[in-house]
Amino acid sequence: MSEPIAVIVLAAGKGTRMKSDLHKVLHPIAGRPMLLHLLASIGEAGASRQVIVAGDRREQIEAALAGSGAEVVVQEPQLGTAHAALHAKGALSAFSGHVVVCFGDVPFLLGDTVRRLCDAVTGGAQVAVLGFRPAATAAYGRIIAEADGTVRKMVEHKDASPEERSVNLCNSGVIVAHSKDMWRLLEAVGNENAAGEYYLPDVATNAIAEGGRVVVVEAPESEVMGINSRAELAEAELRWQQRRRRQAMDDGASLIAPEAVWFAWDTKLGRDVLVEPNVIFGPGVKVADGVKIRAFCHIEGAHLASGVEVGPYARLRPGTVLEEKVKIGNFVEVKKATMGKGAKANHLSYIGDAEVGAGANIGAGTITCNYDGYFKYKTVIGEGAFIGSNSALVAPVKIGRDAIVAAGSAVTRDVMDGELRIVRGEQLVKPGWADRFHDAMKKKKAEKKG
């Protein structure tokens, strides 16, 4: 049987380059905090324990992880990455297995990569490190390794010789060892350096010094790039979106202009879905087969059944359920409402806190008045009902099956099945009044000019 896996995520940095009140690792990519992207990937590798080492704004991390089973420990003072990792020892004192140390601002680390690192340790290495070959080696630390992956030396850029700097295999910072070795190696790390800090790569350096085998596992640069600024966050978002767009098309959806469609981390699209340009998906969207989403729509927390058509310029908010062949047209907003099979709201309407029956038609300019300033109330519209244009349905109210609400009505009481409800002021007719008004005003205007 494979060894259990525990992960230590280092997230104690201040993230000053983000210039934000939000902790760096909680900034979202595709609507999900980067830390949660990372933990989900590591979870796919089978990690049974997750310990996050926090410092500044740790209460934000604790709130984000509430109910997840992950543990938060505090590094104070902050004396380097090895010092931070060692703070997880208490939480993992009874754990026996592989210990993975990684960074909370590297959200795209894959579970398969973590598993390959752990397999290297199972295969006889005392320590496994993750390397990558960037397009520009910049100031990264170098990994000097044999052809079989055995690491001879790890060296920081500032300490590397010209020959060592010519090596393009760089250190990502991710490191794995068995718990029986990890704590001992961490405790042996010294701080004899200019910064007086305890550095994580020295775990591998010390293992080599005592005769242990250290191996390097490689990953692509895109998987291990850290996010330290708003610009890097935007680059990460774009990389994620590009992969997701390609996946959507590979899975059978048509994106007219892929670069103008933005997905959330959990968006689910069926086959033969058509998505026009400038559509944004927020979290919690499920789209069934054969749905058409026209241009300039914003959809979040909504479920769309097969054959639905939405937009253009529609907004679907959380709690929206559109059953088969529903049509939501331009400038229609739906929130916390279910639209039954074949129901339509084609223009300029707001449907909130509502239940709309199958085949019902909502006319242009209709609104469900669901809020009185203190509480929300529900509107129920029966199957086959017809709501005339520019109507206000003041909740709580029920419109019966096959009922008709005349255009311009403000409905405050329930409408029975098959009933016509007209709620308008009496229409007055004064023949000739407009002509007399115009004549009088023209005369008055002429006198004023004279």
In this structure, the chain runs to a length of: 450
Alpha carbon distance 45, 241 (integer Å): 23
Catalytic option among 157, 178, 347, 438: 347
Q: Strand 279-281 vs strand 392-394: parallel, antiparallel, or unpaired?
A: unpaired
298 in active site: no
Q: What is the spatial distance between Cα 152 and Cα 178, in angstroms, rounded to a whole number?
A: 20
Enter the DSSP assignment of 323.
-
324 backbone dihedrals φ, ψ, rounded to 5°? -55, 135
Q: Which class for 213: exposed (0-12), middle (13-18), buried (19 or more C-beta within 10 A)?
A: middle
Rounded Cα gap, residues 217 and 134, in angstroms: 15
Strands (E), 116-234: 127-132, 142-145, 151-155, 170-178, 214-218
H-state helical runs in 199-341: 202-209, 221-224, 230-250
Give the other-Cβ count within 10 Å of 154's Cβ: 25
Say if residues 299 and 282 touch (Cβ distance below 8 Å): yes
Taking alpha carbons only, the member of 92, 105, 83 closest to residue 47 is 92
Give the separation between CA 296 and CA 73, rounded to whole angstroms.
44
Instruction: Concatenate the DSSP letters of all residues of 157-190 into one string.
Output: GGG--HHHHT---EEEEEEEEEHHHHHHHHHT--
Contacts of 433 (CB under 8 A, 6+ apart): none
With CA atoms as reference, report the closest residue to 62 among 86, 28, 26, 38: 26
Which active-site residues does the annotation give? 347
